[in-house]
Amino acid sequence: MPGKGDELAVSRGEQIQAAEREAAKRRLLAEAEADRIPVEETTRAVPDRRWRRGRR
């Protein structure tokens, strides 16, 4: 039968894992934000000449 110390160890391990997951999520979000392309740059029209050149 597990004692109270075992329950605390599992709980503490789960807390550590949750903290690590949260830290990893924050790192990924920060990296994605750094790589993000502003909307102004993604909606810029491409001149017809460049578009046609790539289609031939």
Q: Which amino acid is at 3?
A: G
Q: Is the pLDDT of residue 30 over 50?
A: yes
Across the chain, what does the average pLDDT equal? 78
Confidence of residue 40 (pLDDT cuts 50, 70, 90): confident
Contacts of 24 (CB under 8 A, 6+ apart): none
Q: Distance of CA 44 to CAs 17, 32, 41, 50, 55, Å? A: 43, 22, 6, 13, 19
Confidence of residue 1 (pLDDT cuts 50, 70, 90): very low
Contacts of 36 (CB under 8 A, 6+ apart): none
